[in-house]
Structure 1
Amino acid sequence: MSRPGILHVVATPIGHRDDISARAIETLKRVKVIAAEDTRHTRPLLQHLGIDTPLVALHDHNERTAVDGLVERMRGGDDVALVSDAGTPLISDPGFRLVRAARAAGLRVSPIPGASAVVAALSVAGLPSDRFIFEGFLSSKAGARRTRLNELAGEPRTLIFYESSHRIVESLEDMSAAFGADREAVVARELTKMFETVLDGSLASLVERVTADPNQQKGEFVVMVAGREEGEEERLAEGLRVFAILKEELPPAKAAKMAAAITGAPRKALYGS
């Protein structure tokens, strides 16, 4: 009886097509089928690399139904590669259900590591990288986005977000309100591509720079925000205490503004509490 197939989770370039390993190329040539987030996006890369392995679609809308067929192919001995549109699969991309199903079936799942926008951005940000958290994409709904940012206001680790061109300005404004205008941050745009830019400074300054330059509102973004500094949590706690007292006598918006001025805590973090 032949051995079961292997699921290879293959990282592909996030921009520059030459950022792919020799092992990834060899694997994509050797497997029986490549499961791709968007075959229209992956096919040009394969053509560039001289690879003619068959493609099947595996995305958010068909993953539940496509997984069973791919698992059966691996049980029958076929090796399968999983790729996303760019970077390492499963990092804010489809593939979780396939990996989980393959492991549940006792099949081997092997990583073929490579590019990741999260790590690439963090490596050039100049922010603390020994401890960080990845939040992926924030909600497209303003209320939910602001609530989540307020929840993260006291986080001491470097925060990493993905953001789209449609919401980059609004998200930076919300981060400035939640974390404080002076909080250090970095916006990495179009990494490894022709128009790559990495901007750093306070959140307030980044809001101004991105708002003023339409070119800085195009493309794909990784936003990194420094964690709260020592003493910031104490300021927030004191701000909440003062806010609770003031709002007994004042409208909440005015109470939050005064409590922020007195304690140095972010006003939006108080008003949203």
Structure 2
Amino acid sequence: MEKKLEEGLLSVVGTPIGNLSDASPRVLDTLRGSDLLLCEDTRVTSKLLAHFGIRVTLHRADENVIAQRVEGVLARLREGQHVSFVSDAGMPGVSDPGRVLVDAALDAGARVEVIPGPSAAICALVASGLPMEHFFFEGFLPRRHGQQLERLRALAPIPGALVLYESPHRVAATLVCVAEAFPARRVALVRELTKLHEEVLRGLSSDLATQVAERGELKGECAIVIEGPGEEELRQLSSAAGPSLEEEMGRALAAGEPKSVLAKRLAKQFGRPRSEVYDLVLAQSGNTEGH
């Protein structure tokens, strides 16, 4: 049984994000050679297959049902079959379904391969021309303005560019929120990636928000790249952030707060595992007592 599982293969396949010519020979060979192809939307993937004259068994596996497909996929891998997975466009698992299949297949000892393809996040970063030595992929923000603003402010200290996805009918409002959160940063809006009317709009956040609002609703899926914070902004964020975990721990221990109560409070406050914080509390209290 284990040998058969090793003979099976799960291929995670990156597909074009707009221009079908971006499908590599290896992508097409993999799709043709699959015993089963899982996809987000059979209608979308059927068009891709028809364009290249590929015939393969196709099953839907979007985010609502992909977890239910896992056991069936593992059973096929145990039979030595080749199962492939594609999202509607781009790299599966990057703001798209797919991770759960890879996770389960690796845990089961099956072979997994990634067939490279376009990624809107990476393409947008390159197209933006903004510094990208470090970057953070956020994907889609919450829809409500207040929740968007809260999330953006939480991302503010990240020392790198931020990459967001947004739909064309919400992008103008999102850029207003970005300008509110990051008034001093440059922002790029990249839309219609790899297509005939690919476009990059770039400028100071407030200027870009105004420019897009004046144009009305745009067409095509959009990616937003936000410049990382400068040294002055990082200093301001650091001073406004309040005490660090270690500083708060030292103050509370000096005030005599019980260790277990302190660990529980700090774990919640700083989003760290309670056991980890408790070990830090014990270590710091030991050092304090030692002195």
Task: Identify the TM-score tier after normalising by the shorter chain.
Answer: 0.7 to 0.9
Structure 1 residues 1-273: aligned runs within 5 Å: 4-180=7-183, 182-215=184-217, 217-236=218-237
Distance 2:81 2:241 in 1: 59
Q: Deviations over 1:9-55 (max 9, x none)?
A: 01000000000111110010001011001110000111111100111
Unaligned runs of 5+ in 1: 242-273
Distance 2:26 2:193 in 1: 23
Q: Deviations over 1:66-104 (max 9, x none)?
A: 111111111111101110000111110011111111111
Distance 1:36 1:238 in 2: 47
Query: Among the aligned pairs, what percent are the same residue?
Result: 41
TM-score, normalised by the number of residues in structure 1: 0.83
Please tell me whether Structure 1 or Structure 2 has the larger radius of gyration of its CA atoms. 2
Distance 1:140 1:89 in 2: 23
Distance 1:144 1:176 in 2: 15
Distance 1:22 1:166 in 2: 35
Report the residue type matching 1:199 in the other structure: L
Distance 2:137 2:82 in 1: 31
CA RMSD across the alignment: 1.7
Distance 1:124 1:165 in 2: 18
Q: Deviations over 1:161-200 (max 9, x none)?
A: 11112321111111111111x3111000010123211111
Offset of residue 4 of structure 1: 2.8
Offset of residue 150 of structure 1: 1.0
How many residue pairs get aligned? The number is 239
TM-score, normalised by the number of residues in structure 2: 0.78
Distance 1:236 1:10 in 2: 40
Offset of residue 154 of structure 1: 2.6
Report the residue type matching 2:95 in the other structure: S
